[in-house]
Structure formats: structure tokens, C-alpha cells
Amino acid sequence: PPLAAMLNSFDFESVAREVMEPQAWGYYSSGGDDEITLRDNHLAFQRITMRPRILVNVREIDMTTKILNVPAALPLYFTATALAKLAHQADEARGTMKEGELAIVKAAKKAGVPYMLPTLSSYTLDEMLEARAPDQVVFSQLYVNPERSRTEEYVSKLEKAGVQALFVTVDAPQLGRREKDMRNKFTQQGSDVQGDDEDEGAVDRSQGATRAISSYIDPGLNWEDVPWLKKITSMKVLLKGVQCGEDAVEAFKAGLAGCVLSNHGGRQLDTCRPGIEVLPEVMEALKEAGATKENFAVFIDGGVRRGGDIFKAVALGAQACGVGRPVLYSLASYGQNGIVRMVHMLQDELQMVMRLAGTPNIPSITEKHVITTNLADH
């Protein structure tokens, strides 16, 4: 179908499933174990109901905001997903997009949202950085390597390139069992894992994408490494993959800039809670610990598929939400323009929801605009 026929983020997923190679589809779409958390990530948003206010002047709706002080068109960013070039195989069949992460960098610029560059990208860090527009701000996701000197080099490269924030992934000391991916015995055809220029060969690729990535990540990483992380960079450091109030408070007390409530898109520990479900607990714990929205930023990702999902996350205290698979699926199906359209659709949906909820701008969206009694813990 033509791009114009895509009406929501799910439509891209349907097309992607058709056009992607089975291996790539298996790697992108899979979740851990029984995929309970994977499915629940989007469903959790549906357990939150709207509590709109009426007779507010909503002629003008302003969705613009700042994400870690970076201006954004809406409270949304592209989260890190490894190996965007796997969507590549689809290109050859369709004559579209051959650009993996490079297309994502460019689409992020056009859509006006930040992109969190993955450590395990299919293009090199330099190639991704070069694809940026001169004034384009990017963030970066970090897997800490068992060899700390590699991580130090990588981080100093990011810093020199003007990357604004470092999201350290903390939910993957071992990669989850993703059976769809495992069944494919997938061997990385046409795609390279490259943490950075030097990391070629550091990753054992013989056992499928997921296992290959495992050899790159240090399961020994712990709270005592946080001061080291803070010491090696002046970038903002955040933790990606926090799942409860205690850990968010620990991150705040350790002097970090924020955290992402995330279960890695349902790809790690199965039957854990969706980020949106963890959010009320975390906001409450942070408040008690003296954190404010100004000194500690909270993000969520996982299952964000509708503008209304973004609204709910903002209402419950998130500065912004990350989207992962919708970016890969829109890339696989229509390339860079597909990603931009996907964002525009989320934006249209958010605009409508804000108008119907009586909230003309982002700061006017509050927890009073949603009801969370059907969420776990509330």
C-alpha cells in the first residue's frame, strides 16, 4: 500500500511483517520467554482511562517541549535499537531505504525529535554522527563493555562529538531468551555489529543476533561503577531499564540526571511491569526522596503506539516517551519518509487527545487528566 494509506503505527507493523526477511522480523518483533510483558506494554496504556476537562480554549494546541533541555516537537524520542540495517533486506526487494540508522538520524531531524544512538549499531558511530544535521542533537545508549577501557574510549568519542546524554542500559546483564530469534539461528547476513570502529571482532556472531550481542555486555556492572561512569564524562548520565521506585531513588541519590522506566521492549525479564505501570510508583518514591522534575528526568518506553499513550505518560510525570519498534517497522516498510510519517501520525493523535482532554499545552497535562486505578499497585 502507498505510504499515505498508513493511518497509525500499527499499520506500519503489518507492512513490515510482510516485507521484512523472516530473520529480521524475528529479531525485531520478538520478546522474552512467553512474551507476556511484550504484549502487556501496549495493553497497560488501555488500562488508564481519560478524565477530560471541558470548556477550555483549545483553539491552539502546543505540543512542543524540551527533552533534557533539547527542544522537541512533542514529548517523544527514538530509543536505541540494535542493528537497524536488518531492515535492510527489505530494501532490496522494494527499492527503498538502504540506510539503517542513517535514515533514523535523518528522520529524527525532520520530525523534530531526539534519537538515542545505539552502541550496537549496524553503521559505525562516525557514520551515524556524520549523518546528523549541523544543529542536530543526539543522545546515546551505552552498553558497558567488560573491558572498561573500550567503554572509556567510546564515551570520550561521544563526548567530543557533542552527544548530549548517555543512557546506560541496566536491564540486560544477560540477554533474554527470544525464541523467535533463536529459532532463526540467525547469522547476521548483510549486517555488522559495530560498537565502534575498533569493536569489529569483539562480538561473537556465530550464535545468532541475541547471543552475539551478549558477549559485548558486562554482567558485573553494579552501583559501585556509577561514580566511574560519572567521572569519565561530563555528559548527563541516565539509567535505562529501571523497574521500581527504590532503584530510581538510588539513581537520584547517586547524582544521575534521570532514568528510563523500561523493560527493554519486553525482550528481557518476562512478566515484569510495563514502564507506564511503574511510573506512578517511581514518581511517588522520587518525590519522597526530594527529587523534582527539574533535577531528575523520568522517561518511559515500551508499547507507545498512539498519541494518547504519550499523553498518559506525560500526565503521570514522564518528561517524554521512547519509541523503538515503530521506528524500525516504519523504516523497514517505507524508509526515512515512513519514519517521519509515523511521527506525524502520533503527533496528530496527540493533538486531538490534548484538544479533547482540555489541555492546550504540555505543562497543562496533569495526573488529574487520567485515572490509574486499574494499574498494578494503585
The verdict on whether 171 is a catalytic residue reads yes
> How do beta strands 320-323 and 297-301 pair?
parallel
The candidate with the shortest Cα–Cα distance to 42, out of 301, 260, 264, is 301
Which x/- pattern over 305-344 shows residues binding ligand FNR (rule: CB under 6 A)? Answer: -----------------xxxx-------------------
Least CB distance from residue 56 to ligand FNR, whole Å?
Answer: 31
Least CB distance from residue 263 to ligand FNR, whole Å?
Answer: 7
Q: What b/e sequence results for 261-280 when a residue is b if at least 16 CB atoms lie within 10 Å of its CB, and e otherwise?
A: bbbbbbbbbbebbbbbbbbb
**3 state DSSP class of 210:** helix
- Locate 195 and state its grid cell: 560498537
**3 state DSSP class of 110:** helix
The verdict on whether 329 is a catalytic residue reads no
Which x/- pattern over 233-252 shows residues binding ligand FNR (rule: CB under 6 A)? Answer: -------x------------
Catalytic entry in 11, 40, 91, 171? 171
Q: How many helices (H) and strands (E) does the chain have?
A: 14, 12
Q: Which is nearer to ligand FNR, 165 or 304 (CB)?
A: 304
Catalytic entry in 154, 264, 301, 329? 264
Examine residue 79 and tell whether it contacts ligand FNR (CB under 6 A).
yes
- Locate 360 and state its grid cell: 492546550
Using CA atoms, how far apart are residues 205 and 187, in angstroms rounded to an integer? 7
Q: Which is nearer to ligand FNR, 42 or 369 (CB)?
A: 42
Which x/- pattern over 90-119 shows residues binding ligand FNR (rule: CB under 6 A)? Answer: ----------------------------x-
Least CB distance from residue 322 to ligand FNR, whole Å?
Answer: 6
| Contact indicator for 201, 194 with CB cutoff of 8 Å | no
| Contact indicator for 262, 275 with CB cutoff of 8 Å | yes
Residue at 361: amino acid letter: N
Element (H, E) at 238: strand 236-242
Chosen residue from 12, 25, 28, 311 binding ligand FNR by CB under 6 A: 28
Q: Which is nearer to ligand FNR, 58 or 178 (CB)?
A: 178
Least CB distance from residue 230 to ligand FNR, whole Å?
Answer: 19
Q: Active-site residue numbers?
A: 143, 171, 264
Binding interface with ligand FNR (CB under 6 A): 27-28, 41, 79-82, 118, 120, 141, 169, 240, 262, 264-265, 267, 301-304, 322-325
